[in-house]
Amino acid sequence: MKHTISVLLENKPGVLSRVTGLFSGRGFNIESLCVAATLEPSISCLTLVTEGDNSIVEQITKQLHKLIDVIKVVDISETDFVEREMVIIRVKAESNTRAEVLRVIDIFRGKVVDVSPKSYAVEITGPASKIQAVLDILKPIGIQEVVRTGTIAMARARKN
């Protein structure tokens, strides 16, 4: 099962390497990793997607928490949460397919960020499933390049 883990950690050199080293050293796989500073510049927030059964994820969260520079670890997939990922896709767009590409992008609420005579670069955000869907639709038209950010996620606030 996929788990999305949110980690607050000290924004210092080498800290990310401690996190990734922990995963490689213990044979855990990272599917996606996103990290940037929070409102407090000395603290970073890292969103990590990994796969494993409950015992593996329990070990991952405990081991992460054991790192001296880690402040907080939450497996947010255990709660209701919002997740987003951004992708930039360079897709073939010649005279016969330009309109279709625009239509698809519109359906997925994306936007064109770069244009050339033979291609569009389009930007789309959404959960990983939406990104996968748009890639599947655009693939037959001709995808030339894809860059994905990886997932960021946040637990939803309580409604009461």
Among 21, 51, 111, 113, binds other proteins (CB under 8 A): 21
Q: Of 55 and 96, which has the nearer Cβ to other proteins?
A: 55
State both tokens at 25.
Answer: 């050293």
Which residue, 17 or 160, has its beta carbon nearer to other proteins? Answer: 17
Per-residue tokens: 26: 């213990």
- In angstroms, the first-to-last Cα distance of the chain is 29
Helices (H) and strands (E) in the chain, counts: 4, 9
Q: Choose the binding region for other proteins from 13-21, 98-106, 107-115, 149-157 (rule: CB under 8 A).
A: 13-21
CA-nearest of 40, 69, 77, 58 to 153 is: 77
Residue 68 tokens read as 């001296």
CB of 4 to other proteins, least distance (A): 21
By the rule CB under 8 A, 74 interacts with other proteins:
no
Q: Does 18 sit near other proteins (CB under 8 A)?
A: yes
Q: 88, 113 in Cβ contact below 8 A?
A: yes
Least distance between other proteins and beta carbon 1 (Å): 18
Hey, what are 38's tokens?
A: 């929070």
Tell which one of 7, 45, 70, 105 touches other proteins (CB under 8 A): 70
- Residue 40 burial (CB count, 10 A): 10
Q: How far apart are CA 155 and CA 128, in angstroms?
A: 16
Tell me which stretch binds other proteins (CB under 8 A): 31-39, 69-77, 134-142, 151-159.
Answer: 69-77
By the rule CB under 8 A, 31 interacts with other proteins: no
> Which residues sit at the interface with other proteins, rule CB under 8 A?
9-10, 13-14, 17-18, 21-22, 25, 55, 58-59, 62-63, 65-66, 68-71
